[in-house]
Chain A
Amino acid sequence: MTDITIPDEMWEDGQQGVLGTWYYKSGERVEAGQVIGEVLTEKVAHDIEAPSSGTLTLVVAEEEALSRGQLIARIE
């Protein structure tokens, strides 16, 4: 099982990040390397790539505010 977490470098102190869009639902199969969603920060939209192949479980919903290091999805 692989955890997908927000990297510490994704944004700076004082800024915010939010889950923008998920392109897949929980239970769907994803392949390593596919872009599965996006995180929006104040400057940029960041692609979230699947680090491995397997069944996706979403842990946060769209429009939720995020913290750096937060778990957002799992693949198993």
Chain B
Amino acid sequence: MIRAPLQRLPLRSIDNYEGLITMQPDKTTQLWMLETMLVSRAYEDAIKAAYMEGKTPRFNMADGPIPGEMHLSSGQEPCAVGVCAHLSPADAVTATHRPHHIAIAKGVDLNAMTAEIFGKVSGLAGGRGGHMHLFDPTVNFCCSGIIAEGMGPALGAALGRQLRKEDGIAVAFIGEGAANQGAFHETLNLAAVWNVGVVFVIEDNAWGISVAKSASTAVPNNAERAAAYGIPGYHVAENDPDAIYATAREAIERARSGDGPSLIEIQTLRLEGHFLGDAEAYRPEAERESKDERDPIPRYITQLRGAGHLSDAEEAALRNSAAARVDAALAFARSAPLPLADDALTAVFA
């Protein structure tokens, strides 16, 4: 597929999304986004508590019902809901080592996902993958732990849909650290050259483990890098579901119409450490302390109430149903049986 002559597309900077009035989400969508964020946050809080079981007083990553690493998405929920609000099960999503909010927004089976995180036989992969390797083909969601390596598969999924003339595009979620990895540059270039309907979403939480973005990245905003590949780059300065929704809508419609790839960069917020157990000594004290003031969920609730879209009773109902869903998923996971040792030797080859 040959592209039209290379164009240098102007950088769209969505600092003031109110200008895109026709792209804002309607009330139903806003309530879906809030509900999904509430489920996601309740989930991360429950997983955090379960993860810490057996790991006190002395933290040993191998102990407890959920061993290994745990990367929570608290604070980054708007990125997941603002993008996934536009997606259907046929659209493919690849995500990273910090996947839970995206999996939830994409509609991954919460019970099977939780059982997988607990390493149980009823998990998505019978316990073989765990928290960083969640695969749900029914909604075309997968994630993995090597930085930037989900971008190529997203490109391929979208290309495959185009070749098969099927509906469906793809979205790859990455962190800002991934923008310095070879796969980022190769994939953007290839997606542009082949005009593939894939959207790349950078969740910029400003920290790659202990290294700040300013110390690792040659440009202030990764959205600018899109110009190097002749594709549109969007910079969303606010960790706000409506702003993200509006931006994602434009990029996703472009992908669906055959107009090719886009890069979206969202300034989001990581409320927990890189991984649980991380003391975050590298993060400036002031930044650690101001995090809770910038929590996007209370801000969105205030915004919806101000618009008359949410009452006390509605908020309470959403919180209760979120808690119930999360409780049910954890209960399902805890009561599920462990796999047998010999199960480790199967499913290597189909």
Direct touch of chains A and B (CB < 8 A): yes
Residues on A facing B (Cβ under 8 Å)? 16, 18-20, 40, 42-44, 62-65
B58 lies within 8 A of A18 (CB): yes
A42 lies within 8 A of B58 (CB): no
A43 lies within 8 A of B279 (CB): yes
A43 lies within 8 A of B59 (CB): no
A-B contact pairs, 7 of them (CB 8 A): A20-B58, A42-B279, A43-B279, A44-B279, A62-B58, A63-B58, A65-B57
Chain A residues, CB < 8 A from B56:
16
Q: Which of B57, B59, B279 contacts A64 (CB 8 A)?
A: B57
The 10 A-B residue pairs with the shortest CB-CB distance in the complex, in nearest-first order:
A65-B57, A18-B57, A63-B58, A43-B279, A18-B58, A43-B281, A42-B279, A16-B57, A63-B57, A40-B58
- A73 to nearest B CB, angstroms? 17
Expressed in whole angstroms, the Cα–Cα distance for A44 and B280 within the complex equals 10
Expressed in whole angstroms, the Cα–Cα distance for A43 and B56 within the complex equals 14
Expressed in whole angstroms, the Cα–Cα distance for A42 and B56 within the complex equals 11
Expressed in whole angstroms, the Cα–Cα distance for A19 and B59 within the complex equals 11
Q: Which residue on A lies nearest to B59, using beta carbons?
A: A40
Expressed in whole angstroms, the Cα–Cα distance for A62 and B58 within the complex equals 9
- A15 to nearest B CB, angstroms? 11
Within 8 A of A (CB), among B32-59: 56-59
Within 8 A of A (CB), among B43-101: 56-59
Expressed in whole angstroms, the Cα–Cα distance for A66 and B300 within the complex equals 42
- B210 to nearest A CB, angstroms? 14
Size bracket of the B interface:
under 10
Chain B residues, CB < 8 A from A63:
57-58
Expressed in whole angstroms, the Cα–Cα distance for A74 and B242 within the complex equals 62
- A74 to nearest B CB, angstroms? 22
Chain A residues, CB < 8 A from B58:
18-20, 40, 62-63
Expressed in whole angstroms, the Cα–Cα distance for A18 and B60 within the complex equals 12
Expressed in whole angstroms, the Cα–Cα distance for A16 and B344 within the complex equals 38
Q: Which residue on B lies nearest to A42, using beta carbons?
A: B279
- A22 to nearest B CB, angstroms? 12
Chain B residues, CB < 8 A from A20:
58
Q: Which residue on B lies nearest to A41, using beta carbons?
A: B279
Chain B residues, CB < 8 A from A44:
279, 281
- A11 to nearest B CB, angstroms? 12
Expressed in whole angstroms, the Cα–Cα distance for A63 and B281 within the complex equals 22
- A40 to nearest B CB, angstroms? 6
- B140 to nearest A CB, angstroms? 40
Chain B residues, CB < 8 A from A40:
58-59
Q: Which residue on B lies nearest to A16, using beta carbons?
A: B57
Q: Which residue on B lies nearest to A17, using beta carbons?
A: B57
Expressed in whole angstroms, the Cα–Cα distance for A39 and B56 within the complex equals 14
Q: Which residue on A lies nearest to B277, using beta carbons?
A: A42
- B57 to nearest A CB, angstroms? 4
Q: Which residue on B lies nearest to A65, using beta carbons?
A: B57
Chain B residues, CB < 8 A from A18:
57-58
Chain B residues, CB < 8 A from A42:
279
Chain B residues, CB < 8 A from A43:
279, 281
- B278 to nearest A CB, angstroms? 10
Chain B residues, CB < 8 A from A64:
57
Q: Give the most central of B58, B59, B279: most A CB within 10 Å.
A: B58
Chain A residues, CB < 8 A from B281:
43-44
Within 8 A of A (CB), among B266-281: 279, 281
- B145 to nearest A CB, angstroms? 26
Q: Which residue on B lies nearest to A21, using beta carbons?
A: B58
Expressed in whole angstroms, the Cα–Cα distance for A65 and B58 within the complex equals 8
- A49 to nearest B CB, angstroms? 21
Chain A residues, CB < 8 A from B59:
40
Chain A residues, CB < 8 A from B279:
42-44
- A46 to nearest B CB, angstroms? 12
- A57 to nearest B CB, angstroms? 21
